[in-house]
Chain A
Amino acid sequence: MIVNYDKCLHCGGCAGSCPKNAIFLNDYILVFNDDCNRCGRCVRLCPVQALALEARA
Chain B
Amino acid sequence: MKTYECDVVVVGAGPGGSMAAKFCAEGGLDTILIEKKAEVGAPLRCAEGVSKKWLEEVGIALDPLWIRADMIGAVIKSPDGTQFKLDESKAGTEVGYVLERHLFDKALARDAVAAGSKLMMRTSCTGVIREGGRVVGIKVKSMGEEAEIRAKAIVAADGYESQVGRWAGIDTNVKLNDLNSCIQYRMVNCDADMEYCEFIIGRSIAPGGYLWIFPKGNGVANVGIGVMGPLCKGGEPKEYLDRFLAIDPRFKDSQAVEVAAGFVSTCPGLDCAVDDNIILVGDAARIIDPLTGGGICHACRTGMYAGKVLVEAAAKGDFSKASLMPYEKMWRDRMEDKLYRNWMAKERLAELDDETINELVRLISTSDIEEVNVYNLLKTVKEKFPKVVEGFEHLI
- List chain A positions with a Cβ less than 8 A from chain B: 9-13, 15-17, 19, 21, 24-27, 41, 43-49
Contact = CB atoms under 8 A, between A and B. Distances in A.
Nearest to B264: A13
B259 A47 contact: no
B261 A16 contact: no
B235 A49 contact: yes
Interface string B162-186: 1100110000011010010111000
9 contacts: A9-B261, A10-B43, A11-B261, A16-B162, A17-B179, A19-B173, A24-B126, A45-B263, A48-B235
B260 A9 contact: yes
A44 B232 contact: yes
Interface in B213-244: 227, 229, 232-238
Contact of B181 (A13, A21, A26): A13
Interface in B313-357: none
Contact of B166 (A9, A21, A46): A21
A11 B36 contact: no
Contacts of B259: 9
A15 to B, nearest CB: 5
A27 B38 contact: yes
B8 to A, nearest CB: 23
Contacts of B265: 16
B18 interface: no
A49 B232 CA distance: 10
Interface string B235-274: 1111000000000000000000001111101000000000
A9 B182 CA distance: 11
A44 B179 CA distance: 13
Interface of B: 36-38, 43, 45, 122, 124, 126, 159-163, 166-167, 173-174, 176, 179, 181-183, 227, 229, 232-238, 259-263, 265
A13 B160 contact: yes
A50 B122 CA distance: 24
Given A9-B259, A9-B261, A45-B232, A24 B181 contact: no
A14 B126 CA distance: 17
B122 to A, nearest CB: 8
A44 B161 CA distance: 17
Contact of A47 (B38, B162, B166, B237): B237
A20 B173 CA distance: 9
A11 to B, nearest CB: 4
Given A11-B262, A13-B261, A16-B263, A44 B163 contact: no
Closest 9 CB pairs of A and B: A13-B263, A49-B235, A11-B261, A47-B237, A9-B261, A16-B160, A47-B183, A16-B161, A12-B161
Nearest to B284: A16
A48 B163 contact: no
B295 to A, nearest CB: 13
B169 to A, nearest CB: 11
A46 B173 contact: no
B219 to A, nearest CB: 24
Contacts of A44: 232-234
A21 B171 CA distance: 10
A24 B237 CA distance: 22
A26 B163 CA distance: 13
A16 to B, nearest CB: 4
Q: Which of B161, B235, B237, B265 has the most CB of A within 10 A?
A: B161
